[in-house]
A and B are shown apart, each in its own frame.
Chain A
Amino acid sequence: MTVSTRGTPPATEELPAGAPKSEGNDSGQRARLRAPAGALPYVLIAPAVLALLVFLGYPLARNIVLSLQQLGRTEMISRETVWTGLSNYTGLLNDDAFWTVVLRTFVFMAANVALIMVLGTLVGLLLNTLGKKMRLLLSLALVMAWAMPIVASATVFRWLFDTQFGVVNWVMRELGFAGYEQHNWFDSGFSTLAIVTLLIVWASVPFVALNLYAGLTTISPELYEAARMDGASNWRLFRSVVFPMMKQFFLITTFLEIIWVFKAFAQIVALNGGGPDRASETLPVFAYVEGMAQMNFGTAAAASVLTILILLAAMSYYFRLILKQEEEQ
């Protein structure tokens, strides 16, 4: 889901709930017990369907229409509609700057997702080996990092990495590194994105770790014991017992993180507005700046359509995984 969706539990977890299962025995009973539902279900779903159509369906369609128009400052004022066909798209695809943004987005996403999954898995496995008190303490720390609102933690990270009085520069000086008197962490796109990465990984590892731990508790201890008896090493235990058992979890979580990181917006905008000099823009931020700052709404819409298409590819895998899981249950 959206935004902050960081705060929501994995959609997959509550899937099993038995809706599909109950159906079979339902229908027969209902036919005997109740009059046919008739219009009632449609009345009940109407508000939800209407809301989704108006506030989600229409904007998505309008976005595509917009991407076929030229809409800049002049058109905004004259309120004219200028159709330009696919020229917004060809303009973007022939623009080296756009391809830089695309490449940057993918590299950024891959680095983030890899870090989140590896570290999240390690912390999740760690939780599983800890004693009760220590586990509680670590879970508490994880929950705090998870719960921090993105805008709040971005503000805090700005302060941690402040040029003059930031605690990170102080730590670097204390550790004996030179050049951290007044080091500006936000003076290049790479450095900015590295801090965004730190922020995202810090906030996302708890999600993976806590959910993995929740999943691990369902693996029966006998399986570990048996593998241990057979002399399995830790790595072997993970590869042959934990991973196969939790394969669905890993797949689904990886795709969730891909989608989330790909559309990360608040972190980048709140930390440095996509700067310096547009050098830390990823696709969603690019679309935003192109529209709101450069006033090229047509180009912005085209960039947004392309971004949504890429996201759809990732999502279709994700949905397939979820549907498969639902069928299995």
Chain B
Amino acid sequence: MSNPTLIDKAAVRAKRRRSLGRVWPNAVALCLVPVFLFPVYWMFSTSFKPASEVLTKSPTFLFSPTLEHYGTAAGVDMFWTYVRNSLTVTLGAVGLALLVALAASFAIVRMRFRGRKGLVLAVMMAQMAPWEVMVIVMYLIARDAELLNSIGFLTLVYFVMVLPFTIWTLRGFIAAVPKELEDAALIDGCSRTQAFFRVVFPLLAPGLMSTSLFGFITAWNEFAMVLVLNKESEAYTLPLWLTQFQTAFGNDWGATMAASSLFAIPVLLLFLFLQRRAVGGLSAGAVKG
């Protein structure tokens, strides 16, 4: 055994050196935090400012908060229609994608069939599909089929948008469930369907959770497609409403920022929650694989 005090001293010295070396990084980090937070902070702070203090030459930083702008934004004609549209489109797309992807990724991971490799490749490429560049052709297709301003059609488009990512991610999660568990269930007399729903499915819950949340965020934020497909205000979703709102309300930046906050809050909250969850879920999948 070596002399403990000597080692301690060395450790203390090393620690001191490290903490000294940390002054600069900490200072830089302290400058970066406001840089990244400022737009988010400014959105919220403007949304709570009294109207008289929003449109000023020199911005005020201290004020007595008010909810009046939220009243203006949420009081807009058909605001709740837009909320409902957004929720329908997003939840519909994610729900469908989960069902379809669960079946497909189970087949991809646990079965051998001709064209399996091709399918994996197709899914991977579809994940990078340039939807923004396809808006014109989607518009013409929807127009020919008289499906412009249709919430159902938009839901299906979003479903296909999130589907490849959902398959791709679930594939990893399913592969992480040990096959032996499933085999054991089969030997114990479960049918293949039973084995899936009683053994594999419960283990997939965290994976399904984070996958669907990412799908939710994608569909909730989507702008290009709804911009060309749904021109009538009854069929707007929240992102489209937000861009139109700004045009309609001109200089009412308080209300615009309140509208912006209302739209962003669900995503910000989900993301905070997801950050931990997703990293945990993904690394668990990766380690076990």
Chain A residues close to B by CB (< 8 Å): 1-5, 7-9, 11, 13-19, 21-23, 26-27, 29-30, 33-34, 37, 40-42, 44-45, 47-49, 51-52, 54-56, 58-60, 62-63, 66, 71, 123, 126, 129-131, 134-135, 137-138, 141-160, 162, 164-165, 167, 170, 202, 205-206, 214, 259, 263-266, 269-270, 283-284, 287-288, 291-292, 297, 300-301, 304, 307-308, 311, 315, 318-319, 322
Contact = CB atoms under 8 A, between A and B. Distances in A.
Interface residues of B, number: 117
Contact of A143 (B163, B260, B271, B282): B271
Interface stretch (B62-70, B77-85, B111-119, B197-205): B111-119
Nearest to B19: A131
- Shortest beta-carbon contacts, A-B, top 7: A18-B289, A17-B172, A147-B271, A265-B132, A44-B107, A48-B104, A4-B221
**Chain A at the B interface: mostly helix, strand, loop or mixed?**
helix
5 contacts: A44-B106, A45-B104, A48-B163, A59-B138, A269-B227
B134 A60 contact: yes
Interface in B8-33: 21-22, 25-26, 28-30, 32-33
Given A14-B286, A52-B164, A126-B28, A307 B130 contact: yes
B218 A7 contact: yes
A34 B113 CA distance: 14
Contacts of B99: 47
A129 B25 contact: yes
A3 B131 contact: yes
B122 interface: yes
A7 B214 contact: yes
Contact of B224 (A3, A56, A63): A3
A126 B286 contact: no
Interface in B221-264: 221-224, 227-228, 239, 242-243, 246, 251, 253, 256-257, 259-261, 263-264
B221 A7 contact: yes
Contact of A130 (B29, B40, B127, B179): B29
Contact of B221 (A3, A265, A291): A3
A165 B55 contact: yes
A18 B29 contact: no
B220 A143 contact: no
Contacts of A47: 99-100, 103-104
A150 B218 CA distance: 11
B176 A17 contact: yes
Given A7-B267, A269-B227, A155 B136 contact: no
B222 A4 contact: yes
Contact of A141 (B26, B36, B220, B285): B36
Interface of B: 21-22, 25-26, 28-30, 32-37, 39-40, 42-43, 46, 54-59, 99-101, 103-104, 106-113, 116, 119, 121-141, 156-157, 159-165, 167-169, 171-173, 175-176, 179, 183, 186, 192, 214, 217-218, 220-224, 227-228, 239, 242-243, 246, 251, 253, 256-257, 259-261, 263-264, 267-268, 270-272, 275, 278-279, 282, 285-286, 288-289
B160 A55 contact: yes
A147 B267 CA distance: 7
A71 B100 CA distance: 36
A1 B128 contact: yes
Interface on chain B toward A: helix, strand, loop, or mixed SS? helix
Contacts of B46: 159
B196 to A, nearest CB: 11
B217 A152 contact: no
Contacts of B29: 126, 130, 134-135, 137-138
A7 B217 contact: yes
A2 B36 contact: no
A17 B285 contact: yes
Given A14-B169, A155-B246, A287-B136, A150 B221 contact: yes
Contact of B243 (A1, A9, A137, A155): A155
B107 to A, nearest CB: 4
A167 B218 CA distance: 30
A22 B59 contact: no
Identify the interface centre among A41, A71, A152, A165: most chain B CB within 10 Å of its CB.
Answer: A152
A13 to B, nearest CB: 6
Given A130-B29, A269-B227, A11 B168 contact: yes
Given A56-B160, A292-B136, A156 B43 contact: yes
B139 A1 contact: no
Nearest to B131: A2
B120 to A, nearest CB: 8
B190 to A, nearest CB: 12
B108 A19 contact: yes
